């Protein structure tokens, strides 16, 4: 009988602990994923506003007063930065999520898609601003 050689295979599985710190690309990924907390925070602020609105004028005015506190203003400045970063990264990833787009027989480049998305944000922002401004007067 032939002796069977002992199996020396011992595949080594590396740990994933702290994987996002190992590459700047992943660090950025984690930061833009984190923008979700700010989007959620803003939606919850609006949700509270909506509930206050249903509770009558005094409640609504209370909400408006709370929005005027320095803490709220500072918080909203942070929210603004986070929202802008979310928009920026959302459109930076967009090229990998869209099917190829052909314009005049040539495939639209990733940069063009990102630029198009950011231009759309600019446009909707201006429209929203004008609309609110008109509704207010």
- Binding positions for other proteins, 60-119, rule CB under 8 A: 60-61, 64, 67-68, 72-73, 75-77, 79-80, 83-84, 86-87, 90-91, 93, 95-99, 117
Cβ at position 44, least distance to other proteins in Å: 8
Q: Any contact of residue 46 with other proteins (CB under 8 A)?
A: yes
Which residues are bridge partners to 102 per DSSP? 107
Cβ at position 112, least distance to other proteins in Å: 15
Burial of 97 from C-beta contacts in 10 A (0-12 / 13-18 / 19+): exposed
How far, in Å, CA of 94 to CA of 104, rounded? 21
User: Site for other proteins (CB under 8 A): which residue of 5, 10, 27, 104?
Assistant: 10
User: Quick one: 1 or 104, whose CB is closer to other proteins?
Assistant: 104
User: Quick one: 29 or 112, whose CB is closer to other proteins?
Assistant: 29
Cβ at position 4, least distance to other proteins in Å: 16
How far, in Å, CA of 51 to CA of 60, rounded? 9
User: Quick one: 43 or 115, whose CB is closer to other proteins?
Assistant: 43
Q: Which residues contact 18 (CB under 8 A, 6 or more apart)?
A: none
Are the C-beta atoms of 38 and 81 separated by less than 8 Å? no
């Amino acid at each position: 009988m032939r002796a069977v050689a002992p199996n020396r295979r011992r595949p080594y599985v590396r740990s994933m602990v702290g994987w996002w710190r190992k590459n700047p690309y992943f660090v950025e990924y984690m930061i833009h994923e984190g923008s979700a907390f700010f989007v959620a925070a803003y939606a919850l602020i609006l949700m509270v506003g909506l509930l206050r609105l249903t509770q009558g004028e005094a409640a609504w005015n209370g909400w408006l007063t709370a929005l005027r506190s320095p803490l709220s203003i500072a918080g909203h400045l942070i929210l603004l930065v986070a929202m802008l970063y979310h928009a920026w990264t959302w459109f930076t990833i967009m090229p990998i999520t869209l099917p190829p787009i052909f314009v005049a027989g040539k495939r639209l480049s990733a940069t063009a898609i990102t630029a198009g998305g950011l231009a759309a944000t600019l446009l909707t922002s201006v429209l929203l601003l004008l609309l609110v401004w008109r509704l207010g007067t």
